[in-house]
Amino acid sequence: MLPLLGLVLGVVGTIYAVYLARWVLKQDPGTEKMRKISEAISVGARAYLFRQYRTIGLVLAVLTVVIGVGIGVLAAASFLIGALGSMLAGYLGMYVTTRSASRAAQAARNGLGPALRVAWRAGAVMGLALSSIALLAISGLYLAYSNITREWALPLVALGFGASLITLFMRVGGGIYTKAADLGADLVGKVEVGIPEDDPRNPGVIADNVGDNVGDVAGMAADVFESYIVTLTAAVFLAWIIGLPLEFIELPILYGTLALLATFIGVAALRTSNVRDPMKSISTSINLTILISVALFIVASFAVLGRYGFLEALAMGVAASLGALLTPVILKITDYYTSFNYRPVAKIAEQAQISPATVIVTGYGIGLMSAIPTIGIISAVLGVTYYLGYTILGDVAAATYGTYGPLLAGIYGTAIASVGLLSVAGIIITADSFGPVSDNANGVVEMSELPEEVRNATDVLDSIGNTTKATTKGYAIASAALAALVLFIALIFEVVRAINALGYSIGLSDILKSISAANPNVLVGAFIGAIVVYLFSSRTLGAVGVTAMEIVNEIRRQFRERPGILEWKEEPDYARVVDIATRRALGEFVVPGLVAIVIPLATGIVLGWQALVGLIFGAIIVGVPRALLMANAGGAWDNAKKYIELGHFGGKRSEAHKAAVVGDTVGDPFKDTTGPSLNPLIKVLNTLSVVFAFLIVYLNNHMGIVLTGLLPFII
């Protein structure tokens, strides 16, 4: 009954989040003008989010019915809960950020420390609320379902499917919105007309700020929330389906609970008075959380698994700890490739002296390079934790699967590592949400024309926010990769169950053989996986271009037809730009979403489950490096521009700066639309396949008349 602890901590965490939210809302929201600007952003963001939810609602209703009829009521219920959870996460993120930006801006009048406190606590509202709600959902459903039926595990995976599907829609829609608005506003405002960023004369400025909220905030919050749910439920499911004892099934939930406890301490521990380097304070909070988590993991492992032996308990504690310790390593790697304190970004900035083209080529090359250490370290943790499970836990798993026991125990070891990584999501979301709050606060200060020294304080916070935002992208991708790998194995076992349920008698040996890399079916499937990633990336990038073009034309029109705007005599029509961005983003986000649902289902049903396994394999191998490339190249271009703005190579307004701006603009949809959308994409492909595995195998088998000969059901 360990998950009861999860329920309790989840409730405590929610209360803590509410307390912090009330504290933030009690702060002074600033001048009339500041409140007005905040209000406009908040209204635009809420309007977009609700229209998006309405569109999503349709897909959601259809899928809930399909799952209810095809899989079962419990699965439909958790699918719906997962989906609503993601929607709530997005809404919460947007609500807190828009409310707290003006308050952080106002606090900045009293200096850096007070502003840091407001922004951090606002971020913590998100971090605590999301990890608490996720933990509540998982432990609650686990306790409920496992009391109702012996087949409780699959419905639990549907929770992850709901969460990742909604996140996918939010990531894509929000990503298109935010970058099209940003691109449109910057291209006309900064480049053509020459007014600063966030200048209130720019008709696109409100849409740009709305975009930050619906894209970066709502999207990122939903993303990590979803990864958390997917990873924990997948690990639980895996433990169940390979027949491990109860303690191992509940272990992932326990680790999540303990890390939440550590997060409480980490959040509270941030130093905000007499701060000289706020980034250091934030890093300390993150590291503290991770260290406490590691200590708790080790102690708890002995308490719970002690009866299986000393080494067994230690192995699991170490596996979870390795996962958690992966966090600072990945943050550091991402920082190295995207911050201007290191060689890579400086190299891009140097190329800006030559031409925009060399900025692009060099930045792209650095993006490619940046994927390598992250994938390397993920592979290493994978290998080591597999080894731990394989050699130490093999006997425990052998009870069910005999000679395959060590293999399965090894895979469980990797699952525990991914749980360790995700368990500290609360503090990561806190640091990440701190970013857009600071960014928005900076915008409010700029638009409200507050004094220089206030802007300086929010500038510092904004630049730190940019760092936390950039580095947590690496975390999100790594966590998505590990979650996907766990799910990938879970899918294979679910297929075994499904095929056996159809009356065939299939052992693990046959299954492993049929998904051999030498099977052309697997190979074709892997190519289809690559196609899904490419199709999805192309559509989302294209959507940003098309939408931005429409926004550029609208802003150009306003400047042309109403010259008073630039002379501060007329107010621009913000609402029209907001409307264009909303309409187009909603129009463009449906197709990529459907691609993620239709292609895997069609592949599984028509070409067989081996092709589906190949598809997911291919999507992971192609998608994870691509997500890293796009996120990090985007971050590096962004900071190369900032580096030049600090006065290098001619500084602002130089030719080098113009070249760097091109890089930054290319990087925007890379890092904020397509790159981050690949995380939920990979997990939707996965969770969908697990949830519908029975249906896919059944339908494929019944169409076998045509296809059995073509691509054998089992080799």
Q: Considering only residues 463 through 502, tell me which ones interact with its own copies, judged by CB under 8 A.
A: 485, 488-489, 492
Closest CB to its own copies among residues 286, 381: 381
Closest by CA to 705, choosing from 637, 606, 609, 638, is 606
Q: Which stretch binds its own copies (CB under 8 A): 111-119, 195-203, 529-537, 571-579?
A: 529-537
Contacts of residue 39, Cβ cutoff 8 Å, sequence gap at least 6:
none
Closest CB to its own copies among residues 53, 404: 404
The answer to whether 59 and 135 are in contact (CB under 8 A) is no
Beta strands (DSSP E) in 218-335 are none
Closest CB to its own copies among residues 448, 519: 519
Kindly state whether residue 183 participates in binding its own copies, applying the rule CB under 8 A: yes
Q: Left, alpha or beta for 402 (phi > 0: left; psi -120 to 50: alpha)? A: left
Burial class (CB in 10 A: 0-12, 13-18, 19+), 193: middle
Kindly state whether residue 535 participates in binding its own copies, applying the rule CB under 8 A: yes
Query: For residues 264-323, which are near its own copies according to CB under 8 A?
Result: none
Kindly state whether residue 437 participates in binding its own copies, applying the rule CB under 8 A: no
Kindly state whether residue 523 participates in binding its own copies, applying the rule CB under 8 A: yes
Residue 505 per-residue DSSP state: -
Closest CB to its own copies among residues 247, 664: 664
Kindly state whether residue 544 participates in binding its own copies, applying the rule CB under 8 A: yes
Q: How many CB atoms sit inside 10 A of residue 587's CB?
A: 15
Return the residue of 169, 297, 386, 692 that touches its own copies, per CB under 8 A. Answer: 386
Kindly state whether residue 517 participates in binding its own copies, applying the rule CB under 8 A: yes
Kindly state whether residue 387 participates in binding its own copies, applying the rule CB under 8 A: yes
3-state secondary structure (DSSP) of residue 149: coil
Contacts of residue 242, Cβ cutoff 8 Å, sequence gap at least 6:
397, 400, 401, 408, 411, 412, 493
Query: For residues 653-692, which are near its own copies according to CB under 8 A?
Result: 661-662, 665-666, 669
Return the residue of 270, 515, 580, 693 that touches its own copies, per CB under 8 A. Answer: 515
- Using CB under 8 A as the binding criterion, the count of chain residues that bind its own copies stands at 89
Q: Which stretch binds its own copies (CB under 8 A): 82-90, 131-139, 416-424, 517-525?
A: 517-525
Contacts of residue 385, Cβ cutoff 8 Å, sequence gap at least 6:
319, 322, 323, 410, 413, 414, 416, 417
Minimum CB distance to its own copies, residue 548 (Å):
7
Q: Which stretch binds its own copies (CB under 8 A): 28-36, 235-243, 421-429, 619-627?
A: 619-627
Return the residue of 70, 113, 542, 704 that touches its own copies, per CB under 8 A. Answer: 542
Minimum CB distance to its own copies, residue 478 (Å):
12
Kindly state whether residue 7 participates in binding its own copies, applying the rule CB under 8 A: no
Cα-based torsion angle of the residue sequence 402, 403, 409, 414 in order, rounded to the nearest 10 degrees: -140
Burial class (CB in 10 A: 0-12, 13-18, 19+), 36: middle
Alpha helices in 562-692 (DSSP H): 574-588, 590-602, 609-645, 655-669, 675-691
Return the residue of 548, 578, 644, 691 that touches its own copies, per CB under 8 A. Answer: 548
Kindly state whether residue 531 participates in binding its own copies, applying the rule CB under 8 A: yes
How far, in Å, CA of 232 to CA of 254, rounded? 10
Return the residue of 72, 113, 365, 650 that touches its own copies, per CB under 8 A. Answer: 365
Query: For residues 204-223, which are near its own copies according to CB under 8 A?
Result: none
Query: For residues 395-424, which are near its own copies according to CB under 8 A?
Result: 404, 407, 410-411, 414
Kindly state whether residue 336 participates in binding its own copies, applying the rule CB under 8 A: no
Return the residue of 159, 187, 207, 693 that touches its own copies, per CB under 8 A. Answer: 187
Closest CB to its own copies among residues 1, 517: 517
Contacts of residue 124, Cβ cutoff 8 Å, sequence gap at least 6:
17, 20, 267, 430
